[in-house]
Every structure is written in C-alpha cells, then in structure tokens.
Structure 1
Amino acid sequence: MNIREGAALAHIIIVGGGAGGLELAVRLGKRLGKRGKARITLVDACRTHLWKPLLHQVAAGTLDSHADEREYFALARSNHFHFRLGRMLDLSRETKEIYLAPTLDGDGKELLPQQAIQYDHLVLALGSQTNDFGTKGAKENCIMLDSLKAAERFHQKLIDQCLRAQTQQQTAGTGRFTVTIIGGGATGVELAAELHMTTKILSNYGLVNFDPEKDLRIVIVDAAPRLLQMLPERLSAAVAKELRSIAIEIHTNERVIEVTQEGVALASGQFIPSGLVVWAAGIKAPDFLNGIDGLESNHLNQLIVKNTLQTTQDPAIFAIGDCAACPQGEGLPNVPPRAQSAHQQASCLADSLCRLLEGKSLQEFHYKDHGSLVSLGNYSTVGSLMGAIASGSVFIEGTLAKWMYWSLHKHHQVAVNGWFHTWLSTWAETIDRVRNPRIKLH
C-alpha cells in the first residue's frame, strides 16, 4: 500500500504487548505514527507490561513487579501509538476485523463491551502459555508460571507457608514443606535457585522458627535426560552441579503422570509429596489460534509463517514471537521461543512494514543465535555465547555472565523506554535496593 496525500492512513494492529509486540509498537510509533504515515494500535488484555523472563523473580519475591511494570497507556502516549484494552477472541479475514472479548472489572461487571477493530495489516504477537500436555490434575493442582498474576499467587503462597513455620512449632514427623517444579528448562532452573536464595534471606528477617535447610525441600522434575536439554551439555552440567551444591533435588528421565493435592506421581512409581507445585515444562500458543479463520497452524497452536513473517494463507497477517512457527532453513528446527527471537523479529518486521507502506518488497527474517544465559540468583550465572569466535560457542560463567544476563533486561528497556529513561530507572533500582528489603515480604 503506497502512502498518498489525503488518503486514509493504513491501520497496523499489533495484538500482544510482550517483548516482541511492545518493541514493534514502539518502533512503528516512532517511525510511522509520529510522522503521520500510519496509525499504530497495540492490543493487550492487561494494562501493564512486564518482561516475561522476570516472572521467576516475581514468584520468588526477589523482584517487586510494581517497580518494573510499565503502563501501556503511558507508553502509547510517549511513543505515538494507540492502546486498546481487550483480549482477542477471533478474526475475520474477509472483513479485516479482529474481535475482542468484553472486559470485566474487579467485581465481574462489564467494563468494556465486545469490540471489533478493522485493520489493514495485522501482527499477532500473543506469546505463549504453559502446556501441561493433558497431564491428569495439572490444571487443578499446579501454578502455571506464565503470567504476572500466577507469579504473584505463587509468591503469596510461599510467604504464607513461611509464616506458618514461624508461628507454629513443628512436631517430629511433620516433614518439610516441598516445592516441586515440573520442568528443567530455564524457567524451572532459575526459579529453583531464586527460591533457595529467598528462603535464606527470609530466615534473616526475624523468622527464627523457619530454617530453610530443614523446613524447605525444592525438587525439579523433568522428562528429559538432563536439565536445559535444548542448551549445550556443558552448560547443563554446570547448572546441575551448582543446584545440587545448594541441596536442590533433581529428577531427570522422570515423566509426570498425575498431580494431586497431595503431590506429584511419576511414571517410575515414585510419589513426591508436595505443598506447592509449579508447572514449567512446556509452552504452546493460545488455543484460539489453532486454525483461526483458515490460517495454517501446528500442533502447538503456533501460526506457520514464511521467512517474511507473513502467515502462509494471508499476506496481510503477520506473526512473531512464541506464537509463530518461523522456519530457519531446510533441515533446521524452527526459530526457538526466546526473548532474543522476538526482539530480532520485531526489529525486522518494523523495517518490513515501513518498506511495505512505501511500495517496496518485504525483508526476509534471518535468526541469529547469540547464545544462552541462565541465572542462578546470587549463586552463579552460566551461559554460552554464539558467534564470539569463528565457529562454535564460548562458555562463560561468574561475573561476566551475570553482567551479560543483567544487560539483556536493560537492552529490552532501552528498546521500549529509550536510553535516558533506562538510565534513570537503573539509578532508581539501585536506590530501592538500599532502601527496601532484599525480597518482597507481602
């Protein structure tokens, strides 16, 4: 679509305000919205944004979510795009409309009615949700760590249990409170380390009856042969060694067959009594995307896209991030569902949409794997960097790895907030660490 003077502005709708969707909205707002070349609208079911890789810190209490959340309405105003509150239900390719479910207030009353919004170009950046693979009892008895609400719920349950230990003298045979984490990927591993660190700090805040070494048991269960199965074996071995050194139990090659109120049943016949169970074993795109209005999708509900990030059945609809099945090349797996993937796709698609409105061809997306980093709280950070040498990867750990892990979050903040606001917020975080407790106690 070429831009002509006096013609109606092209309307680009981005559904999903995660890492990829928000970065794309900010880029397009600055390049198109600010100059009156297109109308940019971001749609999300939540009013605030939190970088998803931080959820395990919110759950453990080492990060106060309110300090890192950003209001979509404020971001829209400062970055020249529009924000619509709502959860996408469906779309019509024929009329080029998306449909949003009614939004309810805290009392369950209708706040916003069902909405229909027309688009010229649609970008689906809906991210992913936890995939329990149909495991019996998982939905009812696990916390799925895929949203801010779930992370805060987990944290509250953890604090409640610590308070019980403080006020109730345990009797012999009562046993330890067990947190079982199903999934040995980055989320499960990082959560386990953060939990261990959190409970040690809690015992220093006057909870004299709570001894994390005696009263808390942390268990990781994974069906794969090793932790971090998708990452280099050396990195996996280093993480497992560090976790075992702080008494975290690791059960690999163990498939969960049922989760009950009492604990976790494994295919091997073992049963792990558990007071709190977190499911972090797999992801899938939202269910409603599966075959939505004839678009091609896979078994994980991801929309299948071309190298241009366009869906295979409709050139006006794009998908990025975890909800997209994006090819890397013949014989290679799809682009992995990581924050760096969403960031790279947002950057590429911003350029492509600007080119499209100028009547030029779309760019092809080429994923560049920059490596992986896994944080184990204050204990350690390990990772592998790709492209640092002519071939292969470089294994890093310790202070350098911690600094690089921290810089990933800052890179996202710069993309969304700009250098100056990121610099200010970093100083504010430093002051808060001195002023506030090291963990959230409520």
Structure 2
Amino acid sequence: MKRRSFLKVSLGAVATIAAVFAGSIGIATADQGIYDDKIVLGSHQPLSGPVALWGVPVTNGMRMAVDQINEKGGVNGRMIELIVEDSAYQQNKAAQAGDKLLKKDKVFALVGALGTPTNMVTMPRALKMGVLNVFPVTAANEMFEPYHKLKFGGFTPYSDQMQAAVKYFVDNKGIKKIGVLYQDDDFGKNVLHGCEDQAKAMGLPEVVKTNFKRGAKDFSSQIAQLKSEGVELVCLGTIIGETIGSMATAKKIGYDPIFVVSSAGYVPENVTLAKGLTEGLYGTGQSPIPYYEDATPEVKAWMDDYKARFSADAVLQSIAGYDAMQVFGMALEKAGRDITAEKVAEAIESIKDYQNIFGGAPYSFSAEDHLGPDARNSATLYQVVGDKWQKVSAISY
C-alpha cells in the first residue's frame, strides 16, 4: 500500500502549462548543469558540528557511488561531478550553500541533501528554478508532499515510523501513557505528529509533549516533566547527542520508561558513543545497520571498498548517501543522453521494486507517488543490546 494518490493532469496539459508558465510552476524549459562531458550535481551536508556524524559518512557514500559510476564510463557518455557544501545543520548556512550550488555552480539537481530544517530552506529555491530535489536525507513528509514533479523522497516518513512504533508498544507492551521529546523544528514535529495521530487512533490519552532547541545539551526539565506525568513510552525526536543526553538524564533520576527513537537516531554512534547509557533503546529504520561480521559477502566487499577509499568504517549513514546516488544514477541512465529535469523525473517514476544489496526496504515510484518505500509497511524496530542494534520486528500500522 503506497502512501497516497494525487489528481493526475494529462501530460499534454502539463507540457503546455510548462512551456507557457515555466518559471511560476518550477519546471525549467532549459536545464543547467548539463555539459557535453559531464553532469554537475550538488548536495549540502553538515560536514561540521554535531550532526557531522551523519553528514560526513553520507557524503562519503555519495562520493563512492559517483566514483563507481564514473569508473564504468559515467552516464550516457557523461561523467558525474558532485559538489558538496557544508551546512553545519544551520538554516542560514544551508541558504548560503544552496544559493552557491544553484546559482554559481548551476547544478542540475540537489541530491541527498541532509536535514529537515535545512531542506526546508533550499528545496523551495531549487524547485522554483526547475532544479530536481531528490532523495534528501531526511524522512520528513515535506520531502515528497505536497506533490511536485521535481521532488522525490527516499525514506519511510518519521510520522509513519512513529505510528508503527506506538502501535507495536501499545499492542505488545500494554503502554497507555505516551510522551514525545522532540527537537523544536520541522523534523521534531514530524515525529510528534506521528505519535499524536496513532495515540488518537487507538483511543489513548493525549500525548505529553516537551521540546528542545537544536543544539541543546540539558534535558533535565523535559525528562522531569515526562516522569512526573507518568509517561511509559518516550518517543524521541532526537538525533545523536540529544538521544544519549536525554537517556543519561533519565537514568540519573531513576526514570526508566521505554525509549524509542526515529531513524534519525537509529545509528551506530548512539551505541558506540553512549558507553552503555542507551542500553535497551529502541529505534526505527528501513535498513539494517551493516556489521561486518554479520554481513553478506557482497556487503563485506562493499564495506572493504569503502574503507579503502575513506580510511573509515562504513556505517548506516554511508548507505543512505550511497543508495541515494545509486538510484539517481540509475534514473539518469534511464533518461537517456538528451536529458532534462522533467525527463529524469519521469525516469525516477518508472523505477519499480528497486532492492539494494543491504536488505533495506524496496523502492517503487509512479507518476502519482514520489515516495520510494511503502510508508506504512517499510519500517523495522531495532533495539540496543550490548554493543549492537538488534532486529526486534517488522512494524506497521
């Protein structure tokens, strides 16, 4: 079951409108970033600051995919050039990075740009210029809805992840009181809305809400509120430092609810950096974290290649970047030599049941549906046990 259907307009009507009103509807009549010998793509990533633990491996994964495509001769006779700018996970820096990529570097597409708040700044600018915004590394609903011909999402939405998680814990653990600790921005609100929607659907009391500003390090008041109101399940709209910090605060005051974090916090660093503080934490995701000793021969070979290229171990974030660029490269190939943004969009729409080597949820797109995974049925619940995340169950709602 895919997420939604949209009202279709005939291709002829769309083409006519595009030709006359290209600027207003965001479909370019001529495409930038396309040269005889190369295609220039752009991305903004938090290469500095606390979210660099996402941004650096995502960038490495994207660069590895680009290198592999170019090593095979590129796409329809063109090499791919990838330009990455540092956003530091700050909206003002993302705006500067986006403007450089779109107006100075004149990129053909923004691919795998990371972060909900940062994409909320750059994505509208790209679409207004007729530039594709594809597979941003965020699971916010805004990345694929409302529908736009040139934007595509690649991750099970945070809201759907949380709805499935809440249903699982209510059905299997008898949870009745739910709270949400969330970053006070579009990312955190996606997590919040999923929990609220599922609690309401199951006839539970109104969720307890408490938030924090990006970069916060003190969660004492928020955790105290959740404890005082008797919350049994805490849904976390956090990433890495905030996940560890909030759980450490809870342990310090003897508060022991079930904690579950979205895919933004389902990363190996929430184990390796936590020194035991996140033991028992649950997380939702659509792809298993790659542990070398448990990997298939094909994934081991990929991890060896990654380590040889970057002198670092591959992590889940590396897969997110690699997969985004691999799928986009496949769409570029399908679109042929004479490409435009709209032709590449149609090529993405033709992708059906794409399955990566890592065991993640398959991708399918259509002219009506620009979200790759099946939103309601593509999440898996994992739990921190010792030094690893271990699979608990597939979850849905």
TM-score bin (small chain): under 0.3
Please, what TM-score do these two structures have when normalized by structure 2? 0.27
Question: Comparing both structures, which one devotes a greater share of its residues to strand?
Answer: 1
Which is bigger in relative contact order (C-alpha 8 A, separation at least 6)?
2
Q: Which of the two has higher C-alpha Rg?
A: 1
Question: Comparing both structures, which one devotes a greater share of its residues to helix?
Answer: 2
